[in-house]
Amino acid sequence: MLPRILDFTHALRDAGVPVAISEDLDALRALAHIPIEDKEAFRASLATTMIKTEAHRPAFDTLFDLYFGAGRGPKALEERDEADGEPGTEEEYLDDLFRALLSGDSQALRDLARRAVARFGRVESERAGSPYFEYRVFRVVDMNTMLGRLMRDMEEGLTPLEERMWRDEFEARLRKFREEVQAEVRRRLAEYKGAEQVSKHAVRPLPEDLDFVRATRDEILQLRRAIGPLARRLATRLAMKKRHARKGRLDVRRTVRASLSTGGVPFDTRFKHRTVHKPELFILCDISGSVAAFARFTLMFVHAFQAQFSRVRSFVFVDTLDEVTRLFDNEDFLVAVDRMNQEADVVWLDGHSDYGTSLDRFWKQYGNDLSRRASVLVLGDARNNYRESAAWVIKEMRKKAKRVYWLNPEPAMYWDTGDSIASEYARNADGMIEVRNLRQLEDFIARVV
Amino acid sequence: MTSYRFGTVPEVVEKLGSVDYLSDESIATVVYLADRLGKPVLVEGPAGTGKTELSKAVASILGANLIRLQCYEGLDEAKALYEWNYKKQLLRIQAEQGREMSWEDVETNIFTEDFLLERPLLAALRATEPTVLLIDEIDKVDFEFEGLLLELLSDFQVSIPEMGTVVATKIPMVFLTSNNSRELSEALKRRCLYLYLDYPTIERERAIVLSRVPELPETLADQIVRLVRSIRQMELKKAPSIAETLDWARTLLHLGITELDADAARTTLTVLLKFQTDVEKVAGHLQIPPRPSDN
């Protein structure tokens, strides 16, 4: 057992979960107190001693499954599959699944996931590695058809409210089933190649580390969920920093007043607080296809802690620019970001990024609104389709505003390749910063605000 | 031989259940291990998922005193650990004036038990009765204070320069709660067992609702928790907590509603949700037509 646990710890560390030696020891100590054959108690004991942030929990669960799931080799796997008995027809399987989903029996769903992988997931191939694949299963089990079938079964005099509730419920059960299938495929892969090999690729990156531009649909949902808590945490940190920074001169009057209760001895010293002016923020976002996701996340993030600024003005552009501040005024910023795409007037010519025209337009129309209390953020990859750069606007902005930063979602090594004119803008701004994920965005904002 | 408070994990589940705290195996395992290993528990999770309740429940099943330290920004040793009652000390010195006393005499006189103001942390250390210490919202304190806690929680002792070292007679059970408004230091996390209290599963929440609002019909409880789960999956400013689910259940009960339909949901949604934008969003998702008077 001990070597297995140590291997497991190593895999956790490789996946970016810091497990200290003292935590390892705590885990071993904890195991002395629980019945080790009780798998859930075993899992809970390792988790509570090794995992100290909820964000690390999915990685822990995935790896736990791999390391303590089965591990007897492909041979045992096939024997177990055979022990499951004679498989019925495809229809029969789907009927079984339908019934399990309808009743919400989670044990049955787990068994069915296992059966599905054994039955439909296998691909006969000569290559080394596991012959089981997730996509094969979902070729047979179509999630949408299944959902439709479930809903049809319910549709006897349901009110819209009830219908909605059942739909949400079934969707959750189907998601659960999909996760079970994925876990089963991973476990089987581990039987063939060993847990060590599989664990390297099995763990998905934390939401903070997901690349904005490359995120899949599921990952984008995760990202949206991560924004709120992250922004709140950052806002608290910034507020604390400000409060500490503003301790000012000794307040003589209040110190003397406070000393009266101690017989004139000034035990408590009181200080005057300096008021700190909040900056105004101008955000200019390129929302053309390639970098739209990045612009959306940055806008959401910034609006999530609007209280830090006296005012946030948002502008979006593709080949011309439009102000969208009003959308964010008293609306949910998640909705605002979605509406922005439809309502902003940003395409003038052909829908390819034109930084020159857009910057030029900003300067003519809104340039006078900039003051020493304003900070400007420009968001985009600086890929200008070989058009006029108008970098002079950035230079002028910098003269009027407090600071001008450019956030670029491309890896720095690609800057200035092809039609990117990153350095032309970077020269004129206070800095161009690579921001590819939430973590980098958080770092940047913490540093400059 | 130290005696343990709990025999097995199922025993913890059962005892917690007897004081109406419905736990599950992972919660009970953490409580059980906290006792066995003598380690504090760091409890995190969204607001209103029963973080504070857990320590109250543990105190209640152990028949222990609950000593609570509510954290806030600027909390310091004098408010959390101990303080000398300097006003009383001053009085004492003035009262002694005129009498012939050496400085040493005065000093030994005024730094004694009589002049010590005991604050929650010291109280928990010196308690002879069974004690559960709850340090609430630890994420609010400053880093310096975290350092002090670190020392206290690893050795369960503290030194008062004028009096010497105070060592805990019996290591109390310690719970720290955090709303995750900032990252706690790695060192503090390492010293603790970790428990994340998420929104409960449908089954557990239904059981909680039924145990807290026993008059509620089971079918209604079922509808309530499923609707709440639906709502929690949406992107809202504030997702409903367990406390709000309970409030909602009580509201429906008082209104004499036995079945949840669009009408009942529309009129009472504001109990569950605290932002107007959230109410609108949820109403849209659930396809509840807006209130007639709003048009």
User: Measured in whole angstroms, how far is the alpha carbon of residue A200 from the centre of its chain?
Assistant: 20
A160 near B CB under 8 A = yes
From chain A, the residues in CB contact with B198 under 8 A are 54
Query: How much is the pLDDT for A48?
Result: 95
Three-state secondary structure of chain A: CHHHHHHHHHHHHHCCCCCCHHHHHHHHHHHCCCCCCCHHHHHHHHHHHHCCCHHHHHHHHHHHHHHHCCCCHHHHHHHHHHHCCCCCCHHHHHHHHHHHHHHCCHHHHHHHHHHHHHHHCECCCCCCCCCECHHHHHHHCCHHHHHHHHHHHHCCCCCHHHHHHHHHHHHHHHHHHHHHHHHHHHHHHHHHHCHHHHHHHHCCCCHHHCCCCCCCHHHHHHHHHHHHHHHHHHHHHHHHHHHHHCEEEECHHHHHHHHHHHCCCCCCCCEEECCCCCCEEEEEEECCHHHHHHHHHHHHHHHHCHHHCCEEEEEEECCCEEECHHHHCCCCHHHHHHHHHHHCCCCCCCCCCCHHHHHHHHHHHHHHHCCCCEEEEEECCCECCCCCCCHHHHHHHHHHCCEEEEEECCCHHHCCCCCECHHHHHHHCCEEEECCCHHHHHHHHHHHC
Q: Which of B29, B43, B145 to mutate to test the interface with A (most CBs of A within 10 A)?
A: B29
Per-residue pLDDT tens over the stretch B145-166: 888 888 888 888 888 888 888 8
Distance from CA of B44 to the nearest CA of A (A): 8
Contact (CB, 8 A) for A117 and A181: yes
* Nearest CA among A321, A310, A327 for reference residue A276: A310
Residues 70-89 of A with CB under 8 A from B: none
Bigger pLDDT: B74 or B255? Answer: B255
CA neighbor of B272 nearest in space, from B282, B263, B286:
B282
Q: Is the pLDDT of residue B291 over 60?
A: no
Could you tell me the two tokens for B98?
A: 């005129």
Q: How confident is the model at residue B1 (pLDDT cuts 50, 70, 90)?
A: very low
Contact B29 A232 (CB under 8 A): no
Could you give the C-alpha distances from A35 to A234, B5, B29, B32, B116, in angstroms and in order? 42, 17, 11, 12, 46
Element (H, E) at B34: helix B25-37
Q: Do A161 and B182 touch (CB under 8 A)?
A: no
Please indicate if any CB of chain B lies within 8 Å of the CB of A124.
Answer: no
Ramachandran region, residue A380 (left: φ > 0; alpha: ψ -120 to 50; beta: rest): left
pLDDT band at B64; cut points 50, 70, 90? very high
A260 CB within 8 Å of a chain B CB: no
Tokens 């690893």 sit at which residue?
Answer: B154
**Which residue in the set A34, A225, A236 is minimally distant from B181, CB to CB?**
A236
Q: Give the contacts of B44 (CB within 8 A, at least 6 positions apart).
A: A54, B51, B177, B178, B179, B180, B194, B195, B196, B197
CA distance B177 to A409: 37
Q: Give the gyration radius of chain A's Cα atoms.
A: 29
- Chain A partners of B230 at a C-beta cutoff of 8 Å? 164-165, 168-169
Cβ contact B286–A225 (<8 Å): no
Least CB-CB distance to A44: which of B25, B181, B277?
B25
Sign of the alpha-carbon torsion through A61, A64, A66, A71: negative
Q: By CA distance, what is A233's nearest residue in B?
A: B181
Q: First CA to last CA across chain B, in angstroms? A: 73
Structural domain boundaries of chain A? 2-68, 73-204, 226-245+277-448, 250-275
Question: If you ran DSSP here, which 8-state letter would residue B256 be given?
Answer: T
What does the block give as tokens for B86?
Answer: 């300097």
Distance between A167 CA and the closest CA of chain B, angstroms: 9
Given CA atoms A233, A237, A239, A240 in this order, what sign does their dihedral have?
A: positive
Contact in structure between B4 and B34 (CB atoms under 8 Å): no
pLDDT on residue A308: 73
pLDDT in tens, B173-206: 999 999 877 778 888 999 999 999 989 888 889 9
Is the Cα torsion angle A358, A360, A361, A366 positive or negative in sign? positive
Question: What does the pLDDT look like over B227-282, one tens digit per residue?
Answer: 898 888 887 878 899 989 999 999 999 988 888 888 888 888 888 898 888 888 88
Report pLDDT for B294.
43
**For residues B86 and B118, is the Cβ–Cβ distance under 8 A?**
no
Q: Between B44, B190, B235, which is nearest A224 by CB?
A: B235
In chain B, which residues have their Cβ closer than 8 Å to the Cβ of A224?
235
Contact between B287 and A172 using a beta-carbon 8 Å cutoff: no
DSSP string covering B61-89: HHTPEEEEEE--TT--HHHHTEEE-HHHH
Is B44 near chain A, with CB under 8 Å?
A: yes
**Minimum Cα–Cα distance from B226: chain A residue:** A165
Stretch 75-94 of chain B: residues touching chain A, C-beta under 8 Å: 86-87, 90
Paired tokens of A300: 């959401």
Predicted pLDDT of residue B75 = 86
Give the pLDDT of residue B67: 94
Q: Does A51 touch chain B (CB under 8 A)?
A: yes
Any idea what the Cα angle at residue B71 is, between residues B70 and B77, rounded to 5°?
A: 105
Characterize A20-31 residue by residue with b for buried, 16 or more Cβ atoms within 10 angstroms of its Cβ, and e for exposed.
beebbebbbebb
Neighbours of A125 (CB within 10 A): 10
Tell me the nearest-neighbour CA distance from A240 into chain B, angstroms. 9
Q: Is the ipTM of this complex over 0.90?
A: no
Q: What is the amino acid identity at position A12?
A: L
**Tens of pLDDT, residue by residue, chain A (449 residues):** 788 899 899 989 888 888 999 999 999 999 999 988 888 889 999 999 999 988 888 889 888 988 887 666 666 677 677 666 666 788 888 888 888 888 888 888 888 888 888 888 887 766 666 778 888 888 888 888 888 888 888 767 777 777 888 888 888 889 889 988 888 888 888 877 777 777 777 777 777 788 887 777 777 777 877 777 777 777 777 777 666 665 678 888 888 888 887 777 887 788 877 666 777 889 898 888 778 888 888 888 777 767 677 888 889 888 888 888 888 776 666 677 777 777 777 777 677 888 999 999 999 999 899 988 888 989 888 888 888 888 899 999 999 998 899 999 888 888 988 888 998 999 988 889 998 888 888 888 878 76
Residues from chain A contacting residue B196 (CB–CB below 8 Å): 54, 57
> Which of these, B176, B160, B169, B58, lies nearest to B124 by C-alpha position?
B169
Q: At residue B84, what is the residue type?
A: W
Domain A226-245+277-448 top-level CATH class: alpha beta
Residue written as token pair 């609430």: B136
| CB contact (8 A) between residue B33 and residue A229 | no
* Among the partner residues A30, A57, A224, nearest to B196 by beta-carbon distance: A57
